[in-house]
Amino acid sequence: MTPDIIKLIDQEFGPAFSSRTPEDLKEYGKDWTKVHDPDPLIICFPQSTDEVSRLLKLCNQHGIAVVPSGGRTGLSGGAVAAKKEVVISFEKMRKIGAVDELAQTLWCEAGAVTEAVHLAAKTHGLTWPINFASSGSSTVGGNIATNAGGVKVIRYGLTRNWVLGLTVVLMNGEILKLNGSLEKNNTGVDFRQIFIGTEGVYGVVTEAILKLAPLPKESEVFLFALKDLAKVFELFKTVRRVNFTVNAYECLSDECLHVVLKHRKLASPFSDSHPYYVLVEAEKPVDENWLQGLFDSGLVEDAVQAQSPKEAQNLWAMREGIGESLAATGLMHKHDIALPIARLQEFIENWTRDLKTQYSGIMPYIFGHIGDGNLHVNLMKPASMDVPEFRRICTQVDQNLFAWIQKYEGSVSAEHGIGLLKKHLLCYTRTPEEIAIMMKMKTVFDPKGLLNPGKIF
C-alpha cells in the first residue's frame, strides 16, 4: 500500500508537490519536542485549499494517515509524524489578504507566519493580538489548532477570541466554510470552536478570517522585585484595580532570572537578588500615585522602569528568554499547566513544599502568565544525576504534580495542547464522560481515524 500512495500522489499532483529527501522527512516530521523520532512517509506542499482537499480525499480512500504541519513550534508532539504518515506542510500557503479597515478583519492562509500577520495589520494601525516568543516562526493554522495564548492573554484572551471565520477540510475531502466574517451568527452550533484548540484531529484549517484590534498605545514596562510569592499576588490585586490598561503581568523566580542572565551574559538590573520578579506592561499614562504607593506600603522591594524601547525589549528578554536559557543550561523536564487564578498561590506553595520534601535534589524553575493562571514548570537534571535516574524521578514527580493539579481543578496543558506527550494525562483534567464525547466526535468527522492519529486520545 505504501508505494502505491506515493505513486498516486505523484500522478495526481506532480513530483514538485512532495519531497522524500532525508532532510525534509526529518525536518517536517517533527516539532520542538525531542521525545519521538520523526518517521514520515512523504512531505506534501499544497498551495491551495483545493489541493489539501484532493490530497486528504486520496489518503482517506487508501487508508493513509495524515499529519498537518505548520511552524512546528509546539511542545506536546502535536505535529510529530513518527509512523509513516503523510505530512501536509502549509509552507506554501502563506497568503495574507488586504485588511478590511471598516470591519477590522484580515483573511489569510493557514501557513501565514504570525509575525507577518502582525506586520500586515500594523500598517493600518491594527494588530492581531496573539503574540508570543515564537511569533517569528509559528503559523496562524498552528495557533488556531492549539488555541494559542501568549504573554498578553490578560488583556486580549486566547486565539479563539480573535477568529471570525474558518475554512476547514475534513478527512474525506469535504470543505467547510464556517461563519465567514460574521460578528453575530446565532444559528445553532458554532462549528468554528470545534476546530479551534483540537490539534487537527477533527479537520484541517486551511484559511481564516481574523478579527483585529487597534494597536496598543505607547506602553511602559516595569520589572518589580518582591520578597516572596505572597507579594506577587498582592501586587496582582492592585493591578486588577488600576485605572489604566494593563497588557501583561508576568512572573519569574530568581532561579529563572539567574539562568537567563548567565546564558545571555547580561547584568542584573538590580543590585541585590530577590526571590521573585514581576514584569508589568501597561499603556501610558501609568498612575504615578499607584507606583509610589507600592513602595510606601512595602509591597515592592525594588523596581526598574524601561526608559527607552530598547530597555523595554531587554526587560522582556529576561522573561521571554527563560525557556531558551534553561534548555541551553541542562536537561529539562517541562510542563505547561493552568490553575484557577484564585488558587494559584496556594497551589504553588503547597506543591513546591511537597516537591522539596520528597525530592530534595530536584530544583523547580517556575515562571509564567500569572494574569491568566498559566504556569511553566521546569525541572532541571542535577549535574550529579544520570539521565535514566532523572527520567525515573521525573515520572514520580509528574504523578505528584498532576494529583495536585487535579485537586485544584486545573489543567495539565494550558497552551501547547495534548499531542502525543500528554494524552495519558488527559484524565487528570477531563472526565471519562467528556473524553468519550470527544472520541465520538472524532468518529463523526474522521470515521477511519486517519487525521493526526494518536494525538489527544
CATH number where 77 lies: 3.30.43.10
CATH number where 397 lies: 3.30.70.2740
Residue 80 lies in a domain: yes
Show the CA angle centred on residue 80, arms to residues 392 and 44, nearest 5°.
165
Q: Which of 195, 214, 233 is the last residue of a domain?
A: 214
Query: Is the same domain home to 186 and 117?
Result: yes
Query: Is the same domain home to 163 and 272?
Result: no
Residue 76 lies in a domain: yes
CATH number where 189 lies: 3.30.465.10
Query: Is the same domain home to 101 and 203?
Result: yes
The three cell numbers of residue 365 are 524553575
Residues 6+ apart with CB under 8 A from 125: 214, 215
Query: Is the same domain home to 189 and 119?
Result: yes
Contact indicator for 372, 158 with CB cutoff of 8 Å: no
What is the count of structural domains for the chain? Answer: 4
The three cell numbers of residue 421 are 506527550
Residue 453 lies in a domain: no
Query: Is the same domain home to 305 and 357?
Result: no
Q: 10 Å Cβ neighbour count for 51? A: 20
Distance, in Å, from the CA atom of 244 to the CA atom of 240, rounded to the nearest integer, reads 10
Which phi and psi angles does 302 have, rounded to 5°? -160, 165
Prior bond of 285 cis (ω within 30°): yes
Residue 250 lies in a domain: yes
Residue 431 lies in a domain: no
Query: Is the same domain home to 206 and 225?
Result: no
Give the pLDDT confidence score for residue 334 in this predicted structure: 87
Query: Is the same domain home to 161 and 224?
Result: no
Query: Is the same domain home to 210 and 101?
Result: yes
Residue 202 lies in a domain: yes
Residue 31's domain comprises 2-89
Distance, in Å, from the CA atom of 322 to the CA atom of 243, rounded to the nearest integer, reads 31
The three cell numbers of residue 423 are 494524552
Q: Which of 214, 235, 261 is the last residue of a domain?
A: 214
**225 beta partners:** 277, 302
Divide the 457 residues of the chain into consecutive groups of 10 and give the mean pLDDT of each group: 81 96 94 83 98 98 96 83 95 97 98 96 96 83 90 91 98 98 95 96 98 95 97 96 94 95 92 96 95 96 96 92 90 91 96 91 90 92 92 92 96 89 90 96 97 93
CATH number where 273 lies: 3.30.70.2190
Longest dimension (CA), the chain: 74
Query: Is the same domain home to 354 and 398?
Result: yes
Q: 10 Å Cβ neighbour count for 273? A: 12
Give the pLDDT confidence score for residue 271 in this predicted structure: 92
> How far is CA 158 from its chain centroid?
10
Give the pLDDT confidence score for residue 2 in this predicted structure: 55
Residue 457 lies in a domain: no
Query: Is the same domain home to 276 and 228?
Result: yes
Q: Which of 180, 214, 248 is the last residue of a domain?
A: 214
Residue 303 lies in a domain: yes
Query: Is the same domain home to 342 and 278?
Result: no
Give the pLDDT confidence score for residue 449 in this predicted structure: 97
Burial class (CB in 10 A: 0-12, 13-18, 19+), 410: buried
Query: Is the same domain home to 283 and 357?
Result: no
Q: Cell numbers 503547597 correspond to what residue?
A: 350
Contact indicator for 106, 140 with CB cutoff of 8 Å: no
